Structure 1
């Protein structure tokens, strides 16, 4: 089902399905949902899509965002001075 949905959405949006790393994107949203907050997952995916469409996303954007979500608690604590 997910493969068919991905293909249909890509066709509808004029996106080459070969450019979509579905598994990496799903891993990213899983990390964000569990590490940050659930509503941040679709927002992050949307923002990533905007950045990629604008050409401003770095080539390793998915990996960088995944790492950011994984270290979210520590980064927030550091920013607040809790450490």
Structure 2
């Protein structure tokens, strides 16, 4: 077991989360997309917001992919917004 797997298992146990419900690779991909496409501090905040939405039952099933796509398109979207101003 590597450190990331061990940490995830311990954190899940502490929080009462089923570790089989955690798609670690998808969350890491999301935070990578956000950190590189938007801003580094936005990565953990986005992961937290996704967790809140999922915990509240309000996150759509494809929320991870939608957020990743938004992050990858961030520069283009903000450039278009500035052009419309």
TM-score (norm 2): 0.94
How far apart, in 1, do the equivalents of 2:60 and 2:81 lie? 24
Runs of 4+ in 1 over 2 A off after TM superposition: none
Shift of 1:80: 1.6
- Where does structure 1 lack aligned partners over 5 or more consecutive residues? none
How far apart, in 2, do the equivalents of 1:75 and 1:33 lie? 16
How far apart, in 2, do the equivalents of 1:3 and 1:79 lie? 40
How far apart, in 1, do the equivalents of 2:61 and 2:5 lie? 24
TM-score (norm 1): 0.96
Q: How big is the alpha-carbon RMSD for the aligned residues of Structure 1 and Structure 2?
A: 0.8
**Counterparts in 2 of 1:16-35, with a 5 A limit?**
16-35=18-37
Per-residue CA distance 1:29-72 (angstroms, 9 max, x = gap): 00100000000000000000000000000001000000000000
How many residues are treated as equivalent by the alignment? 82
